[in-house]
Structure 1
Amino acid sequence: MSPLQKSVFLIAVMALIWGAGLPVSKLGVQALGAWPFRLACAFISVLFLYAVFWKPVNALSTTLDAMLYLKLFIIAIPNVFLVPVLNNIALEHLSISDSTSLIYTMPCFTSFFAMILNRKLDGFSIASLTFCSIGIWLIIGKLEFSSSHLIILSSALSWSIGSLIAQRLKTDIDFRVKVFWQVTFGCFCTFLVSPLFLDWPTEIMAFPGSLSLSAAAAILFMGIVGGAIVFYIWFYLIKLQSAEYASYATLFSPVISVVLAMTYFGEKPPASTIIGFALILASALIVNIVRPAWVSRKSPETA
């Protein structure tokens, strides 16, 4: 399988996982609360990755220097810690449709930051950012903006910054070990700050009593599939292609999320949300499809 074929396959898998991720998280958050649900998912992710990759993890971890651990910690903060936590908090008060539309502004932010870092004005990125900004405005509205909207936008911003950091911070070690430690550091940060938002140990001890079958299934899905596996694919795509490519690989996910929200949660997004969602999706398509097609067409002409 060529690198391009592998990338396309991984994009399809990642899109399906992330498309189901927000609706499944909504179930878990509704049943358990944002922090207990996130803590459980983070713990399951670490256990799963260690069970799968324990040999390379044990073999290499003792030989890694402090600077490398610091780099992995820095990468983990936005991607593995902030994004899932902010998503879960926002889902307590925000619909899946709004959450989905706003979290997938991430590719637009990534293109914008990449344009700044490369110090090169790109008309396609500017057009994409314009469409994205209008879409955000339509979704949140002037009078309906809430802290939950700000939280989910902060998650998208963290995601885009994290993807660029992951690409630029070079960590030349076994990829499996790299993903394990990033997820482990993300879990550590979640546990570290959770006492600020939870009544330890009262709420933690009450956790088993509130664990229904659907909540347990949501934890397992988001811990293993939507946590460990999808992060492995995400970081691998960044390594295989680029941060911008990986970020736009999420294009198909919001469609799946919105369909599930309408089907299983009975959500009926207003016209402004649908139009805003379409503009955000169009902004992503501009950079992911239109720009590459334009560049490939111009390249033979300049050759």
Structure 2
Amino acid sequence: MSFDRRSVILLVVLTIAWGVNWPIMKLGVAHFPAMGFRLLCMAGGVLALGLALRVRGEPLRVPPGQWPTVVRLALFNMVVWHLLAICAVKMLSSGRAAILGYTMPIWAVVWGLVLYRERIGAAAWTGIACALTGTVLLLSGELAALAGSPAGTLLMLCAAAGWGLGTQMMKRSRIEMPVGVLTFWMLVVTLPFLLLGTLAFESGWRLPDAVEWGAIAYNAVVVFAYCHLVWFVLARSLPPVVSSLSVMFIPVVGVFSGMWLLGEQPHWQDYAAIVLMFAALASVLLVPLLRRRLREARSG
């Protein structure tokens, strides 16, 4: 595990940028085809990330024999997540969608236990318990609304389960290529699936208006070209439980930014969930660092 000051800064920026995007997405798909919106965002993200990699001088070549791994990682980390999540966002409020989407850490733990016989320490179990309790609190005030949107709820839970499996796969992949190049090609692999979904299930295409173009630009540059890159760096460098729980504060940002942008009102459960999410983060990020410092002090 290598979690230094740079990783902390990246995680904070990732949390804010990704959390704010939930109400931004809701604005973007309010009157625009959802998969078409995601297709334009991802296409812009491919261009932005490809340009950034070229400026940095990184070759976009995929090493021989690595394409099956790239496609497999893209299917769970990108295709399942983006296809199902963007459809669910249209059916749910931005806050509810964010909360359900970030049950991902729980699914990552389940996949680790079932498929990989992963051992989880006491601190990680504490973090999981805090994160799960915080998620339940955030959902407690939304149960009636969620019951009225069973399709959106099911789609978002399936998206989260797929992303959780993809997180486990990302950590265990033995692919020999830079994370930026891997992210670029996973986005490219996902584009045809979004195009097929758009052509098969959506109609009423038109040019986006100013608000929709703004949401598309934010997603292309900030979410796809930056957030995905940072996330896959963390997912490959940290244990799956740690990387998964480290993003649990994103739904809190999503809920409160949705209140700010969309006029929703906070409840006591939202504030209690913040405390629990902080506890979850501390258990997987601060506790291991403190233990390491204590060992170093004793050995020194």
Alpha-carbon distance, 1:31 to partner: 3.0
Q: Which runs of 5+ in 2 are unaligned?
A: none
2:19 counterpart of 1:19: yes
Q: Which of 67, 70, 78 is 2:68 aligned to?
A: 70
SS in 2 for 1:92: helix
Alpha-carbon distance, 1:84 to partner: 2.6
SS in 2 for 1:172: coil
1:17/1:46 CA distance change after superposition, 3 Å: same
- Please name the residue that 2:99 is paired with: 101
Contact 2:76 2:163 (8 Å CA) reproduced: yes
**Percent identity over the alignment?**
21
- Please name the residue that 2:181 is paired with: 177
Alpha-carbon distance, 1:301 to partner: 12
Q: Which of 149, 167, 174 is 2:171 aligned to?
A: 167
1:80/1:144 CA distance change after superposition, 3 Å: closer
Cα separation, 2, equivalents of 1:276 and 1:147: 28
2:259 counterpart of 1:262: yes
Cα separation, 1, equivalents of 2:143 and 2:97: 14
Cα separation, 2, equivalents of 1:191 and 1:129: 36
TM-score (norm 2): 0.82
Contact 1:132 1:279 (8 Å CA) reproduced: no
Paired amino acid for 2:248: L
Cα separation, 2, equivalents of 1:265 and 1:182: 32
Paired amino acid for 1:49: L
Cα separation, 2, equivalents of 1:301 and 1:112: 35
- Please name the residue that 1:151 is paired with: 155
- Please name the residue that 1:229 is paired with: 226
Q: Please give the per-residue CA displacement for 1:143-178, whole angstroms capped at 9, x wherever unaligned.
A: 953221122222221221111111111111233321
Cα separation, 2, equivalents of 1:300 and 1:101: 38
- Please name the residue that 1:6 is paired with: 6
SS in 1 for 2:221: helix
SS in 2 for 1:120: coil
- Please name the residue that 1:288 is paired with: 284
1:283/1:112 CA distance change after superposition, 3 Å: farther
SS in 2 for 1:259: helix
Q: Please give the per-residue CA displacement for 1:30-53, whole angstroms capped at 9, x wherever unaligned.
A: 131211111111111111122222
- Please name the residue that 2:206 is paired with: 207
Cα separation, 1, equivalents of 2:273 and 2:156: 14
Alpha-carbon distance, 1:277 to partner: 4.5
2:201 counterpart of 1:197: yes
Cα separation, 2, equivalents of 1:193 and 1:216: 21
Cα separation, 1, equivalents of 2:183 and 2:212: 26
- Please name the residue that 1:238 is paired with: 235
Cα separation, 2, equivalents of 1:131 and 1:267: 25
Q: Please give the per-residue CA displacement for 1:67-120, whole angstroms capped at 9, x wherever unaligned.
A: 311101111112222223322211112112212222222223223433442443
Deviates more, 1:212-221 or 1:148-157: 148-157
Cα separation, 2, equivalents of 1:48 and 1:57: 15
Alpha-carbon distance, 1:228 to partner: 1.8
Paired amino acid for 1:103: G
Alpha-carbon distance, 1:19 to partner: 1.3
1:144/1:248 CA distance change after superposition, 3 Å: closer
